Amino acid sequence: MLRKSVTLSLQEKVDFLKSSGKKIYTLSNPSFNPKKIKSLNINKFNLQGQLTGESKLKKLSINYLFKNWNYNKIKNDVIITSGAKAALYCVFKGIGDYLKKANIGIINPNWPTYEDLAKISGNKHYYFNTTLKNNFEIDCSKLIFFLKKNKIRILLLTSPNNPTGKIITNDKLKKILKICKSQNTYLVIDESFSSYYYIKKKKTKSIGIDKNLIIINSFSKNFHLQGLRLGAIMSNKKLSQMFANIHIAVNGSPNYLSQKIIINNKGLLMHSNIKKKMERVSNFLISKGVEFYKPDGSFYIFPKIKNYSNFIKNSNKKGLFFLGGDLFGKAYKKYYRLCFEKKNNELNTILKIMDKNKLY
**pTM exceeding the 0.85 threshold for the entire prediction:** yes
Contacts of 35 (CB under 8 A, 6+ apart): 224, 225, 268
What residue spans define the domains of the chain? 6-30+274-356, 55-268
Residue type at position 107: I
* pLDDT at res. 38: 80
**How much is the CA Rg of the chain, to the nearest whole Å?**
20
For residue 276, pLDDT over 80 is answered with yes
Residue 238: how many CB atoms within 10 A of its CB?
Answer: 11
Q: Which of 12, 31, 8 is nearest to 345 (CA)?
A: 31
Q: What is the pLDDT of residues 281-335, one digit of tens each?
A: 999 999 999 999 999 999 999 999 999 999 999 999 999 999 999 999 999 999 9
Residue 12: how many CB atoms within 10 A of its CB?
Answer: 12
As a whole number, mean pLDDT of residues 55-69 equals: 94
CATH of domain 55-268: 3.40.640.10
**Secondary structure of the chain as H, E, C letters:** CCCCCHHHHHHHHHHHHHHCCCCCEECCCCCCCCCCCCCCCCCCCCCCCCCCCCHHHHHHHHHHHCCCEECCCCCEEEEEECCHHHHHHHHHHHHHHHHCCCEEEEEECCCCHHHHHHHHCCCCEEEEECCHHHCCCCCHHHHHHHHHHHCEEEEEEECCCCCCCCCCCHHHHHHHHHHHHHCCCEEEEECCCCCCECCCCCCEEEEECCCCEEEEEEHHHHCCCHHHCCEEEEEEHHHHHHHHHHHHHHHCCCCHHHHHHHHHCHHHCCCCCCHHHHHHHHHHHHHCCCECCCCCECCEECCECCCHHHHHHHCHHHCEECCEHHHHCHHHCCEECEECCCCHHHHHHHHHHHHHCCCC
Residue type at position 157: L
For residue 189, pLDDT over 80 is answered with yes
Class of 6-30+274-356 in CATH? alpha beta
As a whole number, mean pLDDT of residues 200-217 equals: 85
Q: How far apart are CA 177 and CA 159, in angstroms?
A: 14
Residue type at position 106: I
Q: How far apart are CA 13 and CA 41, in angstroms?
A: 37
**Helix-helix angle 237-251:84-99, to 10 degrees:** 110
For residue 206, pLDDT over 80 is answered with no
* pLDDT at res. 44: 64
Higher confidence at residue 7 or residue 320?
Answer: 320
* pLDDT at res. 46: 64
The answer to whether the beta carbons of residues 360 and 354 sit under 8 Å apart is: yes
Q: What is the pLDDT of residues 80-132, one digit of tens each?
A: 999 999 999 999 999 999 999 899 999 999 999 999 999 999 999 999 999 99
The answer to whether the beta carbons of residues 314 and 249 sit under 8 Å apart is: no
Residue 355: how many CB atoms within 10 A of its CB?
Answer: 13
First to last CA, the chain: 34
Same fold? 6-30+274-356, 55-268: no
For residue 200, pLDDT over 90 is answered with no
